[in-house]
């Protein structure tokens, strides 16, 4: 699977990054398509609480990798399915243990979940999904699963 993920463009990945308004955990408005335009970026997405810890492990791996550390990265979580009255509690829980800088790179989406699931080719809610984008927004690498298993192939793709 990791080998196939290295060749995402040749496998026909032609989806455009959705242009959905969201908010960082620090409260700033952001549209990911605009935030990553013009530079490389790693997007790490989770669509359930089960995937949350694994997404955090990905973010740590990206920050700690010598090649990837210089590339913008964002964690993306969708709360569209969560009732409005509990979203604040969920966000507060997500903030715990994250520095202000890390909160700026953690985007909460409350709409277009179906679009984002399609973009990341989500098969299971229980695992994180990761894409590496070039400055034009083209996908250079995509994968899903644990950082410890896939991060070396992501780092190689970023070189």
Which domains, from first to last, does the chain contain?
Answer: 2-10+21-158 (3.40.30.10)
Task: Give the per-residue pLDDT at 84.
Answer: 93
What's the Rg (C-alpha) of the chain?
A: 14
In the chain, at which residue ranges do the beta strands (DSSP E only) sit? 21-24, 29-31, 41-46, 72-78, 106-109, 129-133, 139-144
CA–CA distance, 53 with 29 (Å, rounded to integer): 24
Contact present, 58 and 151 (Cβ < 8 Å)? yes
pLDDT of residue 16: 86
Task: Judge whether 143 and 130 are in contact, CB under 8 Å.
Answer: yes
Query: What pLDDT was estimated at residue 69?
Result: 86
Q: How far apart are CA 159 and CA 57, in angstroms?
A: 21
* pLDDT tens for the chain, residues 1 to 159: 343 444 444 444 457 899 999 999 999 999 999 999 999 999 999 999 889 989 999 999 999 999 998 899 999 999 999 999 999 999 999 999 899 999 999 999 999 999 999 999 999 999 999 999 999 999 999 999 999 999 899 989 998
Tell if the pTM clears 0.85, that is, is over it: yes
């Amino acid at each position: 699977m990791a080998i196939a993920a290295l060749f995402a463009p040749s496998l026909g990945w032609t989806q455009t990054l959705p242009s959905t308004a969201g908010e960082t955990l620090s409260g700033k408005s952001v549209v990911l398509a605009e935030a990553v335009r013009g530079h490389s970026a790693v997007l790490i997405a989770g669509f359930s609480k089960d995937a949350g810890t694994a997404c955090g492990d990905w973010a740590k791996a990206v920050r700690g990798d010598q090649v990837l550390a210089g590339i913008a990265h964002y964690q993306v979580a969708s709360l569209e399915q969560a009732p409005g009255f509990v979203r604040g509690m969920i966000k507060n829980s997500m903030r715990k243990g994250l520095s202000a800088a890390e909160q700026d790179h953690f985007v909460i989406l409350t709409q277009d979940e179906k679009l984002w699931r399609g973009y990341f080719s989500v098969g299971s809610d229980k695992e994180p999904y990761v894409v590496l984008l070039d400055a034009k927004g083209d996908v250079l690498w995509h994968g899903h699963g644990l950082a410890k298993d896939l991060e070396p192939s992501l780092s190689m793709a970023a070189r």
